[in-house]
Amino acid sequence: MRESKAVDLLRERFGPGPKPVVARAPGRVNLIGEHTDYNEGYVLPFAIDRYTEVALRPRIDRTIHVYTAAVDETFSTHLPLRTTKRQGGWADYLIGVLWTFSQAISLPHGFDGAIWGNVPLGAGLSSSASLEVAFAVALVRLYGLEVDGLELVKLCQRAEADFVGVPCGIMDQYAAYFGEAGKALFLDTRALRHKTVPLQLQGTAFIIVDSGVRRALASSGYAARRRECEEATRWLARKFPGRGIRALRDVDQEMLEGVREEMPGTLWKRVRHVVEENARVLAMIEALEKGNPEEVGYLLCSSHASLRDLFEVSIPEIDFLVDWGVKHGAMGARLVGGGFGGATLHLVPSEREEEYVMGIGSAYRARFGRDAKVIGVGTGPGAKKWHHG
């Protein structure tokens, strides 16, 4: 790997020392398949060309110091980890990964580290998974560990779910590791297998518009939505004892329509979103394989309507960005990420991209009195491709 910004930071903060190991992992955009991953369903993310880079070099003692440029702070601890208490900030993601690694192996020495990245924080592009995967890959390289890709992804997800306290599915970490340039990943989150889908829609561009509304998923409605899905699964399993329902993945439209009048209304809406969103993922694959941007746009809009009305995770700022986009030339747009803030994904004709970006920024500023950050995104390699070709 070329000399990196993380390496430069490492030397600036901690002076000269042994040659560091460097790892990189991207953020991701989930094209479609929102809130389906923890329901053992289908998702269709792609890794983006924005990433987190981690540089680590060994120490002779068991002390750990890691600096991050994002907030200009240094986190310090000692091995073995004596505390597993959350600190409520960015270091929790590092502690969580160290915690999961330490449960399986003994880390013989400490390290100095530095982190640099350009994945926007809190915008629904999974900066947390990008950090976790980059840090985990760097640890594997630093200590010469034998950890296969899927196990590393599971370790990172466990760090976020069990330590940080965000009950996330595995999609974000999976995409950060296995993503490929020019392709989306059709991931079956039950089987934990994927296939690649070409992401080549001629004459179009994907744009992320960050609302600037930050949401902390660990303390937001995300956990509540997951609990509702689990409650709905139990309700349906009792109602249909012979159908082997263990997750909302196992529910179909006919089954759901049959209980519309008796199932608690909120739970019914949550299930309907998941069932229909899984179907949209399959339809999206077909649209991509046919190179049909109009159908892709339609599915994006349908997904957003469902997230807004059935899963109820949108907010006025997000709805404004989607509605403005559709009225002003977007082929489709939707909320991306867990919701309650964050960003929207827009599919726009390439020839109108510059005009569109200026227009949506001005409209958002006029409506809400603050700026929306507009980010053009392309696909990029995941950590596996970056480090193993």
Q: Which residues of 24-56 are buried (b: 16+ CB within 10 A; e: fewer)?
A: bbbbbbbbbbbbbbbbbbbbbbbbbebbbbbbb
Q: How far apart are CA 229 and CA 232, in angstroms?
A: 5
For residue 281, the surrounding DSSP H or E stretch is: helix 265-290
Give the three-class secondary structure for 209: strand
For residue 79, give both structure tokens. Answer: 């091995």
Query: CB–CB of 177/26 below 8 Å?
Result: no
The phi, psi pair for 105, rounded to 5°, reads -140, 165
Q: Are 199 and 180 in contact, with CB atoms under 8 Å apart? A: no
Strands 42-58 and 343-349: unpaired
Q: What is the DSSP letter of 147?
A: -
Active-site residue among 92, 112, 172, 250? 172
Question: For the chain, how big is the Rg over CA atoms in Å?
Answer: 21
162 in catalytic set: no
Helix axes 316-327, 293-309, angle to 10 degrees: 150
3-state secondary structure 308-335: HHCCCCCCHHHHHHHHHHHHCCCCEEEE
**Cβ neighbours, 10 Å, residue 102:** 15
Q: How many CB atoms are located within 10 Å of the residue 195 CB?
A: 11
Q: Letter for the amino acid at 62?
A: R
Please name every residue paired with 22 in a beta bridge, in sequence order, or none if there are none: 55
The reply to whether omega before 80 is within 30° of 0 (cis) is yes
List the catalytic residues: 172
